[in-house]
Structure 1
Amino acid sequence: MGVLQALQRTPGALKRAPGLVIPQLIVFVLVLPQLLLQTTYPFVSMLYSLGSSLILLLGMPFIQGGMFGMANEALTTRSSLSRFVSDGKANYVQLLVAYIVLVVVNGVIGAVGVGSGIGAVVGHGSVRIVFIGLAAVAGLLYLVTVFVLQFYGQAIVISGASAIASFKRSYRIVRENLLAVGGYTLVALVIGMLVGGIYGGISLVASPEATSMIGLPPLSTPLLVVVGLLAVGIGSIVSAFMLTFSVAVYDELA
């Protein structure tokens, strides 16, 4: 019931805070050149990807903090970009610490998974079975980590928790509302897959090799830019909706 109520509250919150789309738009615009350059200038695209990844690593905690605060305010009243700036600055350090901790933890799990996968390929007999088991455990551990800690950002911005305490609070909320959080996660996955499909399609039509394989003429640069900007607009709106939805779910469950 809480997830359904959160879903019903989300469109109204977006109407009261249309500025929520702007930060997401900036993020997507930052990523768009990499998509357009990857086929014609792959080396430039790689360099751009490294630079944009560093910018996002340092800037994402500010964007997260601002959007969580703005969305939380919009659930009850109008909100503006001034709230975005103030909450982004106020919660930056804690969000950055939590983000780095998650990157390290997921990096270790990923390294174990990749190493086990390689071992499963090159190993034989019982050794291969052991590596397959380790890879499966690593994959399961990653999914569980993402699932139980998905509300850490909301806990920092909305509840004022520290980086470490936010993990505990997220875990407690998920543990006490397993069915509701499972339903919310399923909805988020479906919408994420749809958005990912859109960007996968754009990446496909941006590649001359891919278009020739399916018998389509390569798109001109102006048309590629138009298609890319359309995808940016759709992605920004959907991302703002999902972030606001996550805040509404946290508000209902917490």
Structure 2
Amino acid sequence: MLALLQVPQLLLQSSAPILASLVSLALSALYVVLVPFVQAGLIGMADEALDGRTSLATFVAAGKEHFVSVFVVYLILFGVNVALGAIAFVAGIVGVVSFYPGGAAGGGGPNVALLAVVAVVVLAAVLAYLVVAFLIQFYAQAIVIDGHDAIESIKHSVRLVRRNVVSVLGYTVLVGVLAGAFGLVVGLGSALAAPSMQGAVEPFAVSLPSLGAVGASALIVVLGTLFGGFFGVLSVSYYRTLDG
């Protein structure tokens, strides 16, 4: 479903760049609502499929039943990411300003001590993000499979990870590599669907999408569907193993 939503944007990139930007903005707002629903639905289907057969009815039922709890955690994560991102951004601005004459470092060149502090702050923000993501990565499974509410799902995920740090680290690296490979394919697809020179010169012109955009869109939909299904089953199977 989420892969299909990217198709209009990819097709419009080569035929109507300005319209593609507007569509991308609208889809970003839609993702905020759809991602928790789809995440809960896929986990519900994967959990049922591991015991036998499943259906789209399970996807819809799980998405509707657990949407609120998953959405609450989603908002909490979004708030944490914004806060950490703001800290890293401000620190980066201070570091850049320190290079200019009369800036934070004065007129005698960059202040090495200040830059070291900025680097430590940025690295700490990045590390904090990675640690939070690592500890609570199973919150959605805890909500859908075990019926925990939003806050308890976070606590349950943290308990599972702390009891199985080495195993979860290996699982996380594997998923990260797979997600990185998928992201690379999506990036290449977006590059194929990039605006032509005519689109860059005439941004408001509308034409038929390029053959590369059509092919990239089809590839992303197919791979997105396969990856989403595989990752859903893998994450649920692994969670059930951790949870006993």
Question: Which of 90, 106, 113 is the aligned partner of 2:81?
Answer: 106
Q: State the one-letter code of the partner of 1:231.
A: I
Equivalences for residues 65-80 of structure 1 within 5 A: 65-80=40-55
> Is the counterpart of residue 243 in structure 1 residue 229 in structure 2?
no
1:231: Cα distance to partner? 2.3
Q: State the one-letter code of the partner of 1:108.
A: A
**Counterpart for residue 87 of structure 1:** 62
**Counterpart for residue 32 of structure 1:** 7
TM-score (norm 1): 0.82
**Counterpart for residue 217 of structure 2:** 228
Alpha-carbon separation, structure 2, partners of 1:107 and 1:56: 17
> Is the counterpart of residue 145 in structure 1 residue 132 in structure 2?
yes
- RMSD across aligned C-alpha pairs, in angstroms? 1.8
Asked whether the 8 Å contact 1:120–1:129 carries over to 2, the reply is: no
Q: State the one-letter code of the partner of 2:39.
A: Q
**Counterpart for residue 22 of structure 1:** none
Larger radius of gyration: 2
Q: State the one-letter code of the partner of 1:154.
A: Q
Q: State the one-letter code of the partner of 2:60.
A: V
The number of residues matched between the two structures is 221
Q: State the one-letter code of the partner of 1:38.
A: Q
Alpha-carbon separation, structure 2, partners of 1:40 and 1:133: 45
Asked whether the 8 Å contact 1:68–1:244 carries over to 2, the reply is: yes
**Counterpart for residue 195 of structure 1:** 182
SS at match of 1:78: coil
**Against the structure 1 CA distance between its residues 39 and 129, is the aligned structure 2 distance closer, same or farther, given a 3 Å change threshold?**
farther
TM-score (norm 2): 0.85
- Where structure 2 has 5 or more consecutive residues not aligned to the other structure, the ranges are 99-104, 106-110, 198-207
Equivalences for residues 139-218 of structure 1 within 5 A: 139-207=126-194
1:205: Cα distance to partner? 1.9
SS at match of 2:114: helix
Asked whether the 8 Å contact 2:40–2:70 carries over to 1, the reply is: yes
Q: State the one-letter code of the partner of 2:143.
A: I
Superposed CA deviations along residues 43-77 of structure 1, whole A, max 9, x for unmatched, are 21221112111111112211111111111111111
Alpha-carbon separation, structure 1, partners of 2:92 and 2:11: 32
1:129: Cα distance to partner? 2.0
Superposed CA deviations along residues 12-54 of structure 1, whole A, max 9, x for unmatched, are xxxxxxxxxxxxxx21110122233335433212211121111
> Is the counterpart of residue 58 in structure 1 residue 47 in structure 2?
no
1:115: Cα distance to partner? 1.4
Superposed CA deviations along residues 115-166 of structure 1, whole A, max 9, x for unmatched, are 1122122223122222211111001101111111111100111111111111
Asked whether the 8 Å contact 2:40–2:63 carries over to 1, the reply is: yes
> Is the counterpart of residue 131 in structure 1 residue 123 in structure 2?
no
Alpha-carbon separation, structure 2, partners of 1:157 and 1:220: 40
**Against the structure 1 CA distance between its residues 209 and 224, is the aligned structure 2 distance closer, same or farther, given a 3 Å change threshold?**
closer
Alpha-carbon separation, structure 2, partners of 1:37 and 1:110: 30
Question: Which of 17, 41, 47 is the aligned partner of 2:16?
Answer: 41
1:203: Cα distance to partner? 1.6
- Where structure 1 has 5 or more consecutive residues not aligned to the other structure, the ranges are 1-25, 211-218
Alpha-carbon separation, structure 2, partners of 1:229 and 1:242: 20
* Structure with more of its chain in helix, by fraction: 1
